[in-house]
Chains A and B, each alone.
Chain A
Amino acid sequence: MRNRLLTLAFSGIVLATLTGCGGSSYPTYTAPPGPVAASGLTYTDPAAGGWRLVKDASSTSTRLVLDLVGPAGTMTRGVGFNIKAPAGLRFDTFSDGMGIHDLGAYNLVSAAANPGEPVALTSALLPGNVLTVGIYQKGREQPAIDSGAAPLCQVALKLDTTVGLHAGDPLALSVPKARVIPEDIGAVTDTMLVLSRKARLQDISISVGASAAN
């Protein structure tokens, strides 16, 4: 009983001593703010000129729509490319369920324009988060178009919120492969030898801007 009283008295003395201090002699520490979870995307267009993917005005903070634009004066009959996105970005579809949107620059239907005829427009999601898309005129019936006169097609991306990105995390897009159908692919009456040289797709390089989560 006596020991307990002494303990209590001692505690009280300590408390009183601490309370009685007039100022602090220890530095305070304010933890820096934690990383902010990403909720949107930013994209900076690449330099002008050449084949490139530029941000479309219909983009929102959460959905990035990229237009494919070609160099002015380059006549083509179609284009296809593979675009690779890192973890954190996923490709979105358009209202028709496709991963590519036709902007009407190419003439996709045949000269006969049969109702319901299939058009050479395709999109597929390859392993490794690679969207492969293509938009092509069929054969030689329609004239080639100036690939720089207007945007040719679109793809769309969204932030994958399950990945746990933070604002400022870079999201590097790349286009490892791209080809066009050139203007001269020979005539339907050409020999097989001539067509073997002309009726081939040609490699191009598509510039991609810088994208990041924000």
Chain B
Amino acid sequence: MHRQLSRPVSAMVLALAAGGPAATAATPIGTPRPADPAQVGRALSHLRSIQAQLGLDGAADFQVSHAFLSAQGRTIVHFNQLHQGIPVWNGMAIVHVEADGTISQVVNGLLTGIPLTGGPALSAAQASALALKNLGAKGPMPVAPTVRTVVFPSRRTGGFATRPDPATGRVALDPEYSILAKAPVAPFVWAYEVKTSLMNPRDGMKQVAYVIDATTGAILRKWNDQRSDTAAQGTGAGLYNGAVVLDITQAADGTYSLIDPSRGGQSAPSYITNTSGLTVAYDYVTEYPWGGYETPMPYTGSSTSAWGDGSPFTDTGLSFDASGDFWWQGATTVAGQTDAVDALFGMQKSWDMFQNVFSVNGMDNKGSTLVALVHPFAPTMDGSIQPMDWHLSFGPYLIFGDGGPNRGRGAQTEIDIVGHEMVHSFTMAVPQFLYQGESGALEEATSDILGKMVQAYAQPGGGGATIPDFPASDAAGLKAIWSFGYHADQSPERSYYRPSLDGSSPDGWYDGIGVIWPWFSSGPLNRMFFFLVNGTSAAPGDPNYSSFLPVATQGLGNDTSARIWFAAVMGFMTPNTGLQDAQVAAVAAATQLYGATSPQVAQVENAFAAVNIGDAPGQPKRVKVTFPVVNPPASIIGQGGTAFYPAGADSQYQFFPTHTPVKVQIDVQNAANPAVNWTLGTPSQGIAGGVVDADGTWMTPFASSGSSSQPYILVATSVQDPSQFAVGSVLVVDIDADTDTATDAMDLGQIAACWGLTSNNPFPTTGLLEGGQTTDWSIAMFNQVINSAWPVK
């Protein structure tokens, strides 16, 4: 029997065992054990028995996506949600089964209220063709797109991606991965999820995913899905790791390969050949320019088991063979092998940490192999051949660029970077975080956190069943250790102790953080982990000082902290988990491991409070500024996306008519003085928004020429505590649909008169944000806008 806690924020419900096993300190067990099918069966039976309680009807069912046996003997089973046998997009539940068979937890990330019947109108082939048309590939594709039918929640339609503007460093819209789509009226629709892969010099390496409406063929969502003979031992001289011992392969002919058969026995789908064992390869292009396939070429056939010389790789141009195939000159030389040594070393340490500390078989608990690609080619707009200077995860491939002194970067094979990319394989397999918004932040932060733990694990004296602490150091040393890619880049990519040092990442959570790129929104969680390990300080000059919690607390060290975070991600996080829910998950994980009143749980609360998430024990509640939910998720506005905003986030966006005195809504909690200062951003179209008065009154501007709407970023900062603020968006909409210069109920009449018209609509202003067609969405938007300005009291 289990009971449920009231849920704080989003779709996660935690149930704590009324009679679960007593919490004990984590005991590493070493070799991973497979989950007992009987326990998995119990989890499935339980979920089916409570599905009505979870708000699901008879059309619902569950499919096991992952089963894990923890060191405590607990079986944790992840289920993907089904409706009429079809996967529900990002719907997931997690069930914890104790060793004695009792159910102790149910983590609910399920989607309810699915009235769908029937099936798709379009075929999978048609959906694939629509995706490929949008993809616009210039070169060949290594594999055909994968297509699966899904039940798609309309509120996840649309969405925009951001990327740093290289000129200003600020967050800017990414037009390639932004979709200007309007959500279907129905709350759920049949759809196809299409995943494409590109790997050629013209297109570079891309993995672009789509959701295609299976009735209309509209692209509902688009995102960058990209996030990597006989066993022998060799030695290597890495640039970052120095002299290392590597598990490699010796072939029957006596030659050696940088392939580790002892790790990754399950081959993962590979684009060229089936690969078994962790492998390092260099980038190689065949049949260019007519074909232009990129082919990872493993390091094989060496007469010696010693690899690399520890020196940096120097880009001296391309090497060609007689058929026109090419690769980076020197990639196969001893110097070129240096990056390969560091890559394989990092992969092996990551693998071993997951196995020996977390009891996970490989990064996905299935032992799937991974391939590291060094000396890769970068995609360019003009088709020129350029080296890559960054790192990424690309399905089973982990790509590590060469950097280059001109670009201020060294080889991207420093061990925390390699660990970071390896961990993406884990998060993509198990919690399957949606790579947008706050869940995207969780994906990046988990890679940063556990990647840094790989660095700790690989220290001399490490490699066993625990993760050693970093050596004691002064403040300068602490800063060096707790920077991501400290040696690889002239300016470290990210700082754990002070994320804002990169100029883009926040040091603490705020309402609205999900709109920035996951690389940056992950900052608070990285910082949380730094505090979890090292504690906090009361001295403002210390690296572990936080204004959100300006007191001294005791850190837990690397091993305990890593176990808590792993358990939180493995056992309590689903695709849509956000930062507030992450705190709940971490507390639940620490409770499960150490007990509710343990100092470990207290330090988890301290660490999160130090980044403005939740409260520390005994700490007075901080002022909290949030934009209210004005469009409930069940409303037509709350379901869909507009042309400018991430799908599902419309619940907080406020819509106002143009040129009207309105009052912006804001919630301020725990403040004797609830006043805020407003800052109105300049929109991209350049129409200044004016000034929002202290009480929230605002004379909205006219829409820009040629546009019926205008978005504005709005920041509300607490007067009582300026460290507390919220970032939101408002959309100013011209609802004078009959263009008589007066905004009133007659405008809705004109919309109604044009309802159902599309390309022959002579009154395009009736399609509010619909671009000429007029549907129920315009009707709902009209009422939302007019009532926000002039409610009938």
Contacts and interface: CB of A to CB of B under 8 A. Distances in A.
A91 interface: yes
Interface in A92-150: 93, 97-99, 110, 114-120, 122-127, 131-134, 136-141
Interface in B611-641: 634, 636
Interface stretch (A10-18, A33-41, A51-59, A186-194): A186-194
A127 B776 CA distance: 27
A138 B751 CA distance: 8
A131 B791 CA distance: 10
A101 B70 CA distance: 60
Contacts of B793: 93, 125
Contacts of B745: 80-82, 122-124, 132-134
A155 B751 CA distance: 22
B763 interface: yes
Contacts of A110: 776
Given A80-B746, A82-B745, A201-B746, A119 B779 contact: yes
Nearest to B115: A115
A165 interface: no
Interface centre among A122, A139, A177, A188 (most CB of B within 10 A): A122
Contacts of B408: none
B762 A188 contact: no
B748 A120 contact: yes
B744 A80 contact: yes
A124 B761 CA distance: 27
Contacts of B780: 118
Contacts, number: 130
A131 B792 contact: yes
B752 interface: yes
A183 to B, nearest CB: 11
B756 A141 contact: yes
Q: Using C-beta atoms within 8 Å of the partner chain, give the interface range for chain A.
A: 35 or more
A166 interface: no
Interface string A57-81: 0000000000000000000011111
A157 B763 CA distance: 35
Contacts of B497: none
A87 interface: no
Given A124-B792, A199-B753, A134 B779 contact: no
Interface string A148-165: 000000000000000000
B763 A199 contact: yes
Contacts of B634: 116
A185 B793 CA distance: 34
A119 B782 CA distance: 11
B463 to A, nearest CB: 58
B790 interface: yes
Given A80-B745, A195-B757, A123 B792 contact: yes
A201 B753 contact: yes
Nearest to B774: A139
Contacts of B742: 177
Contacts of B779: 118-120, 138
Contacts of A44: none
B749 A134 contact: yes
Interface in B773-793: 776, 779-780, 782-783, 786-787, 789-793
Interface in B732-746: 738, 742, 744-746
B186 interface: yes
B752 A188 contact: no
Interface in B49-85: none
A205 interface: no
A118 B791 contact: no
B232 interface: no
Nearest to A123: B792
Nearest to A99: B792
A114 B749 CA distance: 20
B553 interface: no
A206 to B, nearest CB: 13
Given A125-B791, A179-B746, A137 B185 contact: no
A78 B752 CA distance: 9
A118 B754 contact: no
A122 B783 contact: yes
Contacts of B751: 120
Contact of A138 (B636, B752, B763, B790): B752
Interface centre among B751, B755, B761, B780 (most CB of A within 10 A): B755
B323 interface: no
A204 to B, nearest CB: 11
B760 interface: yes
A140 B748 CA distance: 15
Interface centre among A115, A116, A127 (most CB of B within 10 A): A116
Contacts of A91: 792
B311 interface: no
B121 to A, nearest CB: 16
A91 B793 CA distance: 8
Contacts of B757: 139, 188, 195, 199
Interface string B468-487: 00000000000000000000
A120 B749 CA distance: 8
Contact of B762 (A114, A116, A180, A196): A196
Given A117-B776, A124-B790, A82 B756 contact: no
A124 to B, nearest CB: 4
B387 to A, nearest CB: 54
A93 B750 CA distance: 24
Nearest to B661: A127
Interface centre among A77, A117, A120 (most CB of B within 10 A): A120
Interface centre among A80, A124, A136, A191 (most CB of B within 10 A): A124
Given A123-B745, A138-B779, A199 B185 contact: no
Nearest to B788: A124
A109 to B, nearest CB: 10
Nearest to A97: B792
Given A118-B636, A190-B760, A139 B776 contact: no
Nearest to A185: B753
Nearest to A81: B745
B749 A201 contact: yes
Contact of A136 (B738, B752, B761, B792): B752
A79 B790 CA distance: 20
Contacts of A125: 790-793
Contact of B790 (A126, A136, A189): A126
Contact of B746 (A127, A177, A189, A193): A177
A208 interface: no
Interface centre among B749, B760, B763, B793 (most CB of A within 10 A): B749
A117 B185 contact: yes
A143 B780 CA distance: 22
Contacts of A77: 752-753
A98 B745 CA distance: 13
A40 to B, nearest CB: 21
Contacts of B790: 124-127, 132
A77 B750 CA distance: 11
A78 B749 contact: yes
A93 B787 CA distance: 13
A126 B744 contact: yes
Nearest to B787: A124
A23 B787 CA distance: 73
A200 B746 contact: no
A181 interface: yes
A196 B738 CA distance: 12
Contacts of A79: 749
B767 to A, nearest CB: 13
Contacts of A188: 756-757, 760
Contacts of B763: 196, 199
A91 B792 CA distance: 8
Contacts of A99: 792
Given A122-B745, A199-B753, 10 more contacts: A80-B748, A122-B748, A124-B787, A125-B790, A131-B792, A139-B752, A177-B746, A195-B760, A200-B738, A201-B746
7 contacts: A134-B745, A136-B753, A139-B755, A177-B746, A195-B760, A199-B754, A200-B750
